[in-house]
Structure 1
């Protein structure tokens, strides 16, 4: 009796194992796949079944990273025919059908990145369809960043330099540097994943120069530039004007003193000349009246 019970239990185990071996199984050889934008990529999906493939059905779907709850159909194999989504016509195809559910995706785009599901069903198997999942990441170099500035470029003002990039996978790193007349790395404030800015306060003539924004990832680096010129404020101009006026005033004072000295010197010379002339006239009068006196003495 005990022997008979063990025999029945062994038989059930063998049958259950055989049923599991006969059930459809999916094998996703990769769970994460990367490709550079523009290249082709193979998305692997292997399956195992003991049933004939006369009614094989394969469906590939993709859910974008931006909206994982709204998957779209990529390609379908049913009744011996493959039908791709119209938006992917000419870019997607099965590879190795019907023995493999692998697909190939050509001319990849950033929008192709997302979560892919491979679902295989092979009636008359009664097991649930096998479903496999993988993630496709389409790498892209940074796009050309856009640079701009705003603020007060008068001395003592504040200027903000901003830089943004439209795309890049992995997410580009953004850096700001002053490259001319001297190279200086600047601290940056990130404003989201794809933009960053630099705030420069109390600007002066030394702030003027060429500034560069760099967006970099593993596929490359792109740059944009801002040429910043700082102008003197009206207050500074007024100070310079005051200094010029003070210099002119001092010059005028010195000139007036010089004129006064020359005038005094000239006045002194005129006085001496008049004094000498008076003496000459007195001498002349004395000589003129002398003969008459002599005449009177002779008479």
Structure 2
């Protein structure tokens, strides 16, 4: 009985072996060997004048690499793909595409070992586009499309103010970068004193402006503006000094409720002599005369440079 069972088992396994061999013999080469691109990133951002690597790693369960073929193509919009880099029969063929000449290479010195990634140096804005990694083994093929976007990083911005920062007034701190691929995003931070922006402060992120309403001494200090896009960031700093309100006169006399004197001075080299006009507190008409003289002198000197014209209540 045992001998009969043993003979049956031998016959059963022999039959399984025969069936398995027949299946293997009927498989085509692409069914017999597994080929797969494993990299999953489909979009890369590169910085102008720098380098980028587009990943294309693959697995192949065969040690015979004689028939392995690797291609990189660029696919211009609405145009046929162009071959830019090629590996075949242990040879690398480069400089196949003039706009990328001497700027592309396989990241690995042995791309046949599973890393067919592409490196591009000295990036140009015109290098943006769709790149295609194609790996073939015998009749089996894997393709991966990768989008590359080349951007220009922001340059160092300039921080400045439109007007003097006067106590209890509204002001705008400005920050501008002259270059950089949009979208550019600006943000402001306070570095000194309480190191916190006023809760009522408003930041116009796309434009780079910081609005402060009814400023107080608490708002004085150092502010930093940072501009950023997807490939880089830069910053600048500004020191905000709060000044007390100065007397404002509209040319028709002193501010209501004041009877004090005013001194107006205009001075500049190669201009008329310094003009000193002091009005007694009892003669408001002289204040107007002093301001008029100041304005006239300023007009005469405006083409020669900065004119100082200060007023004060004494």
The alignment's TM-score, normalised by the length of structure 1, stands at: 0.50
Q: Going by fraction, where is helix more abundant, 1 or 2?
A: 1
User: TM-score, normalized by length of structure 2?
Assistant: 0.48
